[in-house]
Amino acid sequence: MKREIIKIDEEKCDGCGICIPACAEGALQIVAGKARLVKESYCDGLGACLNECPQGAITLEEREAEAFDEEEVRVNLEGKGELTNSLPCGCPSTISQSWATKGDRATIKAPSLLSHWPVKLTLVTPGAPYFRGDELVVAADCGPFAYGDFHQDFLEERAVVIGCPKFDDLEFYKEKLTEILRHSGIKKIIVARMEVPCCSGLLTVVQNAVSSSGKEISIEEKVIGIKGEIIFQGGHKEDDK
């Protein structure tokens, strides 16, 4: 049938992932660093994602496409556990979920390995002395809550900044990180982000900041599952965006 459906300009798309939570039907995913329409029948053609794209890469076009299938969308979201108890914004990452905690609560409390303050990216000073080390952790706000051994595995002898790519200004993040890198001795950045789609923008911000800094800095991404496990880890070059 001929109907309105989204069109993604791959030249403009920088893979930030901001558009993904705007699609309550789950029609968008980041694939190979670009936003993709995963299935025509998942897209209702209403364009809720259009205004979310900071690059203007998403538009509506009228063309031959599969009909929107509400039942197919329901089955798909139900299979991913993204159907019930969503907040009004329709973001899959806001689904209410709970599970039994693991571990022996009688064990000795772990000491804090945080070596500086502040940690919010919006508050840190780019020339602060704690950025003189070799490694920097750029973490999603939710990461330390989901990953139980965050201090032990991420913070020892490293500086850290945290932020939320869903709710904060990504351009500001890029500019602040660029200044930090220009004034520091950082040789490696570890991006510790959550598995939810809207968090993928954190890696893009770091890659853009490294590029803007003009320095050779390696990037390692670690993706934390909402149940507390590392579900992906790997290295990235700046031009892998």
**In the chain, what are the domains?**
2-84 (3.30.70.20), 129-240 (3.40.50.10640)
| Two tokens, residue 99 | 């599970």
pLDDT at 85 (0 to 100): 42
CA distance 132 to 43: 47
Question: Is 19 in contact with 30 (CB distance < 8 Å)?
Answer: no
CA distance 131 to 138: 12
> Per-residue pLDDT for the chain (241 aa), expressed as one digit of tens each?
899 999 999 999 988 888 887 788 889 988 888 899 999 999 999 888 888 888 999 999 999 999 999 888 888 887 765 444 444 444 445 444 545 655 555 565 778 899 998 899 988 888 888 898 899 999 999 999 999 999 999 998 899 999 998 888 889 999 999 999 998 999 999 999 999 888 989 999 999 999 999 999 999 999 999 899 999 998 765 445 4
pLDDT at 215 (0 to 100): 94
In 3D, which of 135, 131, 112, 151 has the Cα closest to residue 191?
Answer: 135
pLDDT at 164 (0 to 100): 93
CA distance 101 to 82: 21
pLDDT at 197 (0 to 100): 82
Go through 140-175 and write b for each residue having 16 or more CB atoms within 10 A of its CB, e for each that does not. bbbbbebbeebbeebbeebbbbbbbbbebebeebbb
pLDDT at 84 (0 to 100): 43
Segment (H or E) for 177: helix 170-182
**Checking phi first, is residue 33 left (phi over 0); if not, alpha (psi -120 to 50) or beta?**
left
Question: Is 230 in contact with 222 (CB distance < 8 Å)?
Answer: yes
pLDDT at 108 (0 to 100): 58
| Two tokens, residue 1 | 């049938």
The DSSP result for 55-118, as a single string, is T--EEEEEEE-PPP-HHHHHHHHHHTT-SSS--TT--GGG--------S-TTSPPPPP----S-
Angle at 151 between CA 182 and CA 178, to 5 degrees: 15
Question: Is 114 in contact with 151 (CB distance < 8 Å)?
Answer: yes
